[in-house]
Structure 1
Amino acid sequence: MTTYLIRRLLQSIPTMLGITVLSFFMMQAAPADPVDLMTFAPGTKVEDKIALAESLCLDRSPVEQYFVWMFGSANCKTNGIIRGDFGQSFRNRQPVIDLILERIPATLELTVWAMVIGVTIGLLIGVLSAVLHRSMFDNLARFFSVVGDAIPAFWLGLMLILLFAVQLGWLPAGGRIPLRDNDITIFDRAKHLI
């Protein structure tokens, strides 16, 4: 078992390396120049743009930029993504890791509730389909399972927001109620969670 785990771990290294290379060069292929995005203010001097590009090592070749992005550099303002330094947000001018950590509670809340609801409903439908094998319920359950898998989740989510929030007005279209807010009822919390 240990050799299997070690072998799988070693096999994951080229995969992770490939993902980083693909991610980096997809960012490089973007039409916008990062320096232009960061110095969007009118009247920015060319010298300031050049100094910013040099400080972020954006004046180097793409291969050198990749290694700086991965492992960091003493000359650049980065420690590399290997060390958890994801850089600064162009929009907010904050460290990206801070923005990620700020949103983790909402992500975990949605993930836990989605798992609880999904596993509960899935087990219930699975048991009923097994007990009522080849019945109308079993056929409908299998049909809707296949249809549910075939529909892209992002599209279905947008259509459900359009129906229940925009057209019917039953649910809010967005927003989240923090867990610390004690003045909100469970019903309101559930409406915002959906």
Structure 2
Amino acid sequence: MKRSEVLDAMGQLKLYGMRTAYDEIIGTALKRQHEPQQIIGDLLTVEISEKQARSIKYQMTIAKLPLAKELEEFDFEATEINETLVRDLATGDFLDYQRNLVLIGGTGTGKTHLAASIARARIRTGRRGRFFNVADLVNKLDAEARAERQGRTAELISRLDFLILDELGYLPFAQTGGQLLFHLIGKLYERSRSSSPPTSPSENSPRLR
């Protein structure tokens, strides 16, 4: 099979990682006289890495995080926030125990930055999540209710590993909106309880200070 035919076949099979790295891997293999098994292994490794990268990029987009911020960009020295605890939370252990993380502080204290960076760290390990401004989520739930399409957002969120609710308590909304939000959170809580998570090593909520 000619090179052009190989590349065309890879494209048809959507083996984009292999297709991109094909010339480099084959060129190296010829120079170093690699065995066929190693050539195939190198191509597969590149393809797996490329698919993982595309999956992470897709999940980052789906999460709709408002900031592309990392923990390394956060100035811990300018705050009283416990850096060790935050970095521990970024490992995602609290998700394994289905515990909630609540960030409390005034405007400009970095809550959204920390939430987004922790979320990005977890998405890179295969977790799926979604960011919502609470007012926007309530409006979405209200629109669904008025259109008699209740449950669509709840069904979507129930498939995720985590949900970020930003600006909870900052903006007032109607009583009906509060009821819809409470109902959604209740359904998510029931789902988490029914999945029988492992016993948490500590029932105390983590504090960032």
Greater fraction of residues in strand:
2
Higher helix share: 1
